[in-house]
Amino acid sequence: MIKIPKICKAAVLEEYGKPLQIREVPIPEVEAGGILVKVELAGICGTDVHQQRGDLTIKSPLPNIPGHETIGRIVKIGDGRTKDVSGEAIKIGDRIMWAHADCGECYWCEVARDPVLCAKRSGYGFGPPAALRGGFAEYEYVTPATKVVRVPDELTEEEAIGVGCAFRSVVAGYERFGGIGFQDNVVIQGAGPVGLYSLLMAVEGGAGKTIMVGAPKQRLELAVKWGADHVIDIDEYKSPAERSDKICNLTDGRGPEVIIECSGVPAAFNEGLGMIQKGGRYLIMGQSSPAEVSIVPSILTSKCLTVVGNASAAIPHFYKALQFIKNKRTKYPFADIISNKYPLEQINEALANMEAGKEIKPVIDNRGR
């Protein structure tokens, strides 16, 4: 029998633009169907930096516990919850990951069958401390309405953690996009975790040349390990024109058939529209800022382009991303996505390093506490 404390430590955002505070918060009672987990690893995301600054499009009420990419080890399960989303049994001691809770009864859930668009999605990493629904804590509470997936036993937490946000979103984006064509040349804009997992899916999806555009060197080195045929360092190729020329030369003068935008930089959209091949297809996954850029819409018609956007994911995408890692783990060093591990008490240092561009995927490591 695992002894569960009444309180635990959590990093709480109390004021926008200020450091998170380590506080003691109560651990909620586990309802029927609910799950209490001990947080093992919690990924830190660019979104957490924006959340701390208070410049997300949707502001979360204060105070809250951030952290939405968690691997948790089950310490208590409420009555009635016996399986994960694939039908596999779950029990105390198993590791799980989980999606935002969708309502299952709105138009988007029931008619459109696209729970990513659920009108009443209830997220993790944005809730009040009493709900204990953020990863930057010692424990986290998974509600009865939340679907979970069991992390396969053979995977280390380091290999699996990227599924918590970037990889599941990439799987969802690829599904919405309809995948890539055999031997399509693919340019990936942005070498962060979303770009790196997009690269993997292009390589495994039958791409011709894969060309990663981004920085810094550390990320581009991982891109090469993960199968990029070419990397273009934006610190060396500083202007869009230099990058487009280089890519045009690499793609027989026609430009790429597919571009995957994972940079989050609004101007990247115009750069992509300029270089993409006629008849090309453009998947947009990095954009989250309300900033505006002007475009010439007739480029879409004159080049006969297909543009698809995607944000976030649902539980099937978590499951498939974990299966991918399980099936390919001898081929790719998945754990290399982790650039640094920090104890919970150093959350502010981790966020600062993330903001300064010194990280690929930093994590809060609670194992052994």
Type of residue found at 172: A
- Report the DSSP pairing between strands 258-261 and 95-98: unpaired
Alpha carbon distances (Å) from 66 to 39, 48, 161, 339, 352: 13, 7, 16, 20, 15
Closest distance to Zn ion from the beta carbon of 106 (Å): 3
Helix, strand or coil for residue 324?
helix
Q: Name the residue nearer to Zn ion (CB basis): 101 or 232.
A: 101
Closest distance to Zn ion from the beta carbon of 265 (Å): 17
Structure tokens at 235: 């610190």
Q: Name the residue nearer to Zn ion (CB basis): 103 or 300.
A: 103
Q: Name the residue nearer to Zn ion (CB basis): 46 or 214.
A: 46
The whole-angstrom separation of Cα 261 and Cα 273 is 11
Closest distance to Zn ion from the beta carbon of 162 (Å): 10
Q: Name the residue nearer to Zn ion (CB basis): 98 or 209.
A: 98
Q: Name the residue nearer to Zn ion (CB basis): 203 or 311.
A: 311
295 and 269 Cβ atoms separated by less than 8 Å: yes
Give the chain's radius of gyration (CA, Å). 21
Closest distance to Zn ion from the beta carbon of 365 (Å): 17
Q: Scanning the structure block, which residue is given the tokens 């790429």?
A: 256
User: Angle at CA 111, nearest 5°, toward 106 and 112?
Assistant: 100
Residue 72: CB atoms within 10 A of its CB come to: 26
* Binding interface with Zn ion (CB under 5 A): 45, 47, 102-103, 106, 109, 118, 165
- What is the rounded end-to-end Cα distance, in angstroms, of the chain? 18
DSSP state of 15: S
Closest distance to Zn ion from the beta carbon of 69 (Å): 5
Q: Name the residue nearer to Zn ion (CB basis): 169 or 189.
A: 169
Closest distance to Zn ion from the beta carbon of 278 (Å): 35
